Amino acid sequence: MDKPKVVLGVSGGIAAYKACEVLRRLTESGHDVQVVPTEASLHFVGAATWSALSGHPVSTQVWNDVHQVPHVRTGQAADLVVVAPATADLLARAAHGLADDLLTNTLLTARCPVVFAPAMHTEMWEHPATQENVATLRRRGAVVIEPAVGRLTGADTGKGRLPDPGEIFEVCRRILARGTAAPDLAGRHVVISAGGTREPLDPVRYLGNRSSGKQGYALARTAVARGARVTLIEANTGLPDPAGAEVLRAGTAAQLREAVVEAAAGADVVVMAAAVADFRPAVYATGKIKKKDGREPEPVALVRNPDILAEISADRSRPGRIVVGFAAETDDVLANGREKLRRKGCDLLVVNEVGERKTFGSEENEAVVLAADGAEVPVPFGPKEALADTVWDLVAARFG
């Protein structure tokens, strides 16, 4: 079988060196990659590097091998075009349909999915000109990955950093797996909670659970690949940030509630994949609780935490917002799931049975997605991203 053809566009920013790692990941996972740098980007990484790493000749302009009509062929033949880093200038030229070098010609002739991974200083990213160009590209169906927050070229930090190359590769891999399917969550803002809350008992102990956050992160990664704007609110996962998602941190159920309620106010979809503690210790001991010789430990009094999913589901101030809950069950799985769907009032409830190689902490999962209208969709045992994609299929179908 022919290898999938990927065009890796590289524009002129300091993060161009990180594109070498994106290229490596793509070639090592069986993709045929043609690198198309801009002239400016060669100040940062030379053509010899791209040629050696990709195994293909490299050109910035349309005047080499003219008999092969590269300005049209390169884009037409591609299964995916990814531009990493995409500078403010490149985004502007792409949004305005300019075609003054091989990369911009390729962007005009490509009919496959196109991904931009912007990298620039915060001021340039936030400038209305750049934001309008990004909105234009997204409206036309391109996936523009939100830049990461962190160290920029100099000592400064802020939003505008190129996401981790491994995460950019993950976005490309997922988009390629979707074939020519359109980014059906484009223009949608989705909020996802992931991980497990921890309720402090004293400065060294907490009540927690076994959630790793993997299911929530799979939802975030797949939503980015489907074109959504993603806010991921994570609790105690320690996982690397998925490319393109805005990541907020919460420790306790109360902190998670505050973050979810605030983000949900502007969201089209809220997915509660986090395992949230139903109870917390009634009293927080400011000093470490000590053993007392010969005496039984004091019982720990608990109080209820707010039910975030029920609260968001009951709030219909944003008409059309879709709310998805999860339920991890050990007994009477479906019956409990159906009862929980009714009690929580969400639109969809993903019921997963707690088991050895699935649900908490594992790479795989298996579930039944229950809908408020009575529909039930079984999802067979498989990677957590397959379950995530089924959830997005059902959400996208509801948007029509």
Binding residues: 278, 288, 306-309, 326, 340, 344
Tell me if 279 contacts ligand PMT by CB under 6 A: no
Active site residue 133: no
Query: Which segments of 150-240 does DSSP mark as H helices, in order?
Result: 165-177, 214-225
Using the contact rule CB under 6 A, the part of the chain among 79-87, 144-152, 267-275, 390-398 near ligand PMT is 267-275
Tell me if 247 contacts ligand PMT by CB under 6 A: no
- Specify whether the CB–CB gap between 382 and 366 falls below 8 A: yes
CB within 8 Å of 255: residues ≥ 6 apart: 197, 235
**CB of 350 vs ligand PMT, minimal distance in Å:** 7
If the CB atoms of residues 7 and 256 are measured against ligand PMT, the closer one turns out to be 256
Tell me if 160 contacts ligand PMT by CB under 6 A: no
- Specify whether the CB–CB gap between 233 and 191 falls below 8 A: yes
If the CB atoms of residues 34 and 252 are measured against ligand PMT, the closer one turns out to be 252
Tell me if 6 contacts ligand PMT by CB under 6 A: no
If the CB atoms of residues 105 and 305 are measured against ligand PMT, the closer one turns out to be 305
| Owner of token pair 């950019």 | 168
**CB of 281 vs ligand PMT, minimal distance in Å:** 15
Tell me if 233 contacts ligand PMT by CB under 6 A: no
| Owner of token pair 């991890």 | 328
Tell me if 360 contacts ligand PMT by CB under 6 A: yes
Which residues in 289-348 contact ligand PMT (CB under 6 A)?
305, 307-309, 325-328, 344
| Angle, helix 102-109 to helix 70-77, in steps of 10 degrees | 50
- Specify whether the CB–CB gap between 155 and 235 falls below 8 A: no
Tell me if 134 contacts ligand PMT by CB under 6 A: no
Long-range pairs for 65-74: beta carbons < 8 A, 24 or more residues apart: 70/102, 71/99, 71/102, 71/105, 71/106, 71/109, 72/105, 72/109, 74/7, 74/34, 74/36, 74/102, 74/105, 74/106, 74/109
**Which residue out of 209, 236, 336, 365 is catalytically annotated?**
209
- Sheet with 114-118: list strands edge to edge: 32-37, 5-10, 80-86, 114-118, 143-144
Among 49, 104, 130, 211, the residue binding ligand PMT under the rule CB under 6 A is 211
Footprint on this chain of ligand PMT (rule: CB under 6 A): 211-215, 253, 272-276, 278, 305, 307-309, 325-328, 344, 352, 359-361
